Every structure is written in structure tokens, then in C-alpha cells.
Chains A and B, each alone.
Chain A
């Protein structure tokens, strides 16, 4: 953790909570870096994250700025909270701008319950824990045939719905309708497929979770009504990604793109930024495989949603249809999108690495009934802290290629977290606040203790104040299943 008290030297303030990394901060920058951060969060910023943000600015074909959201922190390749848009003609595509967990993302569904309806919260958490395979080595309860895996990679969430894991309405509440159209399964190796088959519908580990929440504050009644979010309502948030299949796609293509980087004479400050021209065979192959992995992730989250809904039906006897999906967002992905740059529309390849799409009113890909509001943006808090629903904005479209933050951003390493508190101490402290935690092991709880993240309230306040998304509702945790 960086324990400075102010913004590191050399950063130029360009707005209340907006800063610029000037060209020259690292050699070879083609554009400046821009990031959004309040004074209070500045002391938590690691120099490594700024270096990585500046590194992204050296990549060929980057448009306008290398962008950092207020949950900006030190990752690999791109920083986490990093956004980079590239010209399709002169720009590159890089797995370092997406990460190993392709289409790691979040979805939120509501229930007709209020907190008082849950008489036995421990029992509910335990039954959800049994219903959703969780943690290292957990295997899918669904038997996914090899041919079905191919459909999963092409159709994404639609495959899951066709198999009975959900409703067609769910698809209208997923970014991209739950499937990118450019998936190319030929670019997904046998190894990646072998890893994908046993893991459909599994949560994984690390920071992945399934959380039971209560809507505790409404900031924007009109948007909340459009999103179907009501005060006091119990809801459920799912955070996971493309599992071993996505990790293998990244590993495989990183190797190919490393060779391509040399072939196309691209100078890189970090090997993890290996890339190729967007239109090159290597770049296209990665894009197609990444889209297939993203689709697998949407199917995966759809299967988990279904498993959770079934537990609510079993325990509370309510209708399956009474638990609508609010929205599903991807926060590790690269997509071709149309944006306005210097007054002209341009198709760009937008990389979001730990950043959420925040499409505003009138943007493409929004369901008709949300066209005037903007897309729901779902920002999970750390374990034990509030999560938020926000709405996409026109300002995000103008300034950040329609992007906002994705979470709170870690400030403490796992080794530091374990030294500070044991998993049991963290779980007990949360229980004293009425939050039940269930995990495969205690260390998983210590790793993700609330103190290891920036305060989620401050991070979302920055994006709200900067206009990158606008606050709609606050959700407080009731119980969490930790992967």
C-alpha cells in the first residue's frame, strides 16, 4: 500500500477530481494519461498504477487519452481501472487491456422479499452456498457436453436461457444481450475448452462472490423505478467471470501476440502489453477468442443466477419470474464501439480492464425502456460495505468512451491483510453487524476484508461528481458467499 498523503509529483490538475499524466512521464507516450481521483483518495494511489497508465499511452493508435477510473490501482499490463480506446486502422488489441479473467463482471437481480421476510438468513446463505459451486477446485453440477460448450461460446447467456437457465427477458438486461457477435471458436484452443467444460455455473475464488443485499437508499427515484429497484427490497449480486476457459484463452493468445509484437515492430514498456494491430490475423484471432470467452462468462453468470433463483423459489415459494435481472455488466473486456471523437463518429476498439461500460441516454445497445435513462451500472463494494447502482451518462460518452469505475480498488495486499486480521475475526466482526459470511476457507475471508479496499462510497462519489455515472441506489450487504 502506498501511504503518501498527496497526489504524486508531476500530475497536472485539470478538473476538480481529474488529473493528467503529461506526455513524457514515461518514454514513448503518444497521448497524455487522464485519471479521476479525489484529494482524499490521492494518498492511496500507487506510483506503479500511474506508471502502468502511462505505459498504455505508448501503444500505437491510442485515441485521446489513456484513462484511469477512481478505483485505479496497480495490476499487470493495463492498470486496474484502466480504459484505452484504439483506432481500428492504426491501433492495437492487447490481452493486457482485458486481463486473464475475460468478462469478469457483475449482475444484480431483485426479489419481492424484504429483510424481515428472511427469518432464517443463515439457512438461506448455506443453501445458496450448496447450490453454487464455489472456491478452488469446485466443479459444475451441470454436465455440459462438448458440443454444448461450443454453443455456450457462440450464444453466451442465450445458450443458458435456451437450456432452461432463465428467461428471455434476462437477455435484454445484459450488456451486448449476453453475447458478443464476433466470437470465433476456432481461435479457442482444445486446452481452453477442456477447462471450460467442468466449470459452467461455478463462482471461482479470489474476489468473486454472491451477495445477498438490501436496497437501503434511493438517490434517483425515476431511474430506480425504470431499473426495477425499490427501497427495502432484498436483492442478490453475482460477481464472477470466464473461469479457466478465459484464463487459458488469455495465456494462449498472449504467447502468440508476443511474437506478433516483434513481427510488427511494436516497442513495449511491459511484456504483458503484448499486442498486435487490431486488423492483423493475430489481433483478429485474439479478439474472436476473447469474445467466445466473454460469451462463456455470460452463460456462466446466467447459470449461477438460475441456481440462486431456484433456492429462493424453494425456500420462499415465490414465482421464478418475480426475480428480474436488473442488469449484467462486463468489467474486463475489449469491444468495438462507436464514439464521437472531435466531432466525428468513429468505430473504436475500447479496452476496459477493471472498468464498467457506462452508456448514457440514447446510446446503442440499451433496451427500449431504458433508452431515456441510460444503462444500469452496477458497482460492487468490498465485502461488508455498500454496493451501488448507478446510471450511465452522456458525460461518460463524451469523456471516457462511455466508461466508469468497476469497484472499490484494493489498497492492501493479501499478505498484509492476513497479518492484520484472521478470517474468523473478519467474519465475526461482520456477523456483529448482521452480515453472514460463508467461504470454503478462512483465509479467503481475510483476503477480502473490508479494510483492504478503498471505501466504495468515496469511489462512487468521485464518478458521480465527475458525471461518469449517476447515483441511483445504495445496497447494503446481508450475507455473502465468498469464492
Chain B
């Protein structure tokens, strides 16, 4: 499992790879947290997210949008997520900690998760995602 930042002039474009769809969602989640808060993140607080959507792209977009909301309103920085997918339903447990300005003001706010250029493809090695974060 891995992710990398691709070249995009205005925003942050991420390419993630994982053997499973769940793993792909978790990688996208880690990339989002990395962009916003940097690397120094621990997990002693948990939050859960449950949602459903019509298709995999919407499910991923809704999941990451919900993470943005929870992180901002509850002032939490997440280290990791465990994602379970069942058709069009998602259940995720997020592990994180309270926002600490001294350690977490290292990144840039993500304003939204865009559908432009989003793709999820499956090949012999698993899944690959391209996704754009508006910063």
C-alpha cells in the first residue's frame, strides 16, 4: 500500500495503490491527513463514520468529506483509519488525537474533495486511485 503526490498546478493530486478497495480508501485517508497536518500524528481518540453512496467514487468522496468535517469540528488529527466496505456502505473507525498547534500546523487546509480527474481502476496488483484535493 502506498500513495504519492502527482504534479498538479493548483491543487494536490494524489495517486494511491492498495491490494484491496478498503486499503485504497485508507491510503487516500492517510494522504489527506498528511497534506493537512504533516507526519507527527498519534492515535488515542477514536471516531466512527458510517455512510452509504450510489457508487465507489461517491462513497470515497463522501468519506473523505466527512473526515474533513469531523477533523475540523472536533479539532482532531487522525493517524489512521480502518475501513470496512459492504457494497455501497462504509464503516470506518478513525484513530487520532486532539489538534496541537505546535505539532500539527505543518500542512495546508484541504477545502474539498473533487470529482475532477478522480479515477479508481483495478488491475492484477489491486486498485489504483487518482484523486484531487482542493487546497
Contacts and interface: CB of A to CB of B under 8 A. Distances in A.
Interface of A: 1, 46, 52, 73-77, 80, 96, 99-101, 135-138, 191, 194-195, 204-206, 244, 247-248, 250-251, 254-255, 258, 270-272, 274, 410-416, 440-441, 443-444, 447
A481 B75 CA distance: 23
Contacts of A413: 7-9, 13
Contacts of A441: 38, 105-107
Contacts of B108: 136, 205-206, 443-444, 447
Contacts of A270: 115-116
B71 to A, nearest CB: 9
A251 B69 CA distance: 10
B114 to A, nearest CB: 4
Interface of B: 5-13, 36-38, 57-58, 62, 65, 68-69, 72-73, 75, 99, 101, 104-109, 111-118, 132, 134-135
Contacts of B117: 76
Contacts, number: 112
Given A270-B115, A411-B9, A195 B73 contact: yes
Contact of B115 (A46, A76, A414, A443): A76
A298 to B, nearest CB: 18
B114 A76 contact: yes
Contacts of B65: 251
A76 B105 contact: no
Nearest to B74: A194
B101 A1 contact: no
Contacts of A248: 69
A272 B73 contact: no
Given A46-B9, A73-B10, A99 B106 contact: no
Given A100-B112, A247-B112, A251-B65, A75 B107 contact: no
A77 B12 CA distance: 15
A431 B10 CA distance: 26
B111 A101 contact: yes
A449 to B, nearest CB: 13
A42 B99 CA distance: 44
A272 B72 contact: no
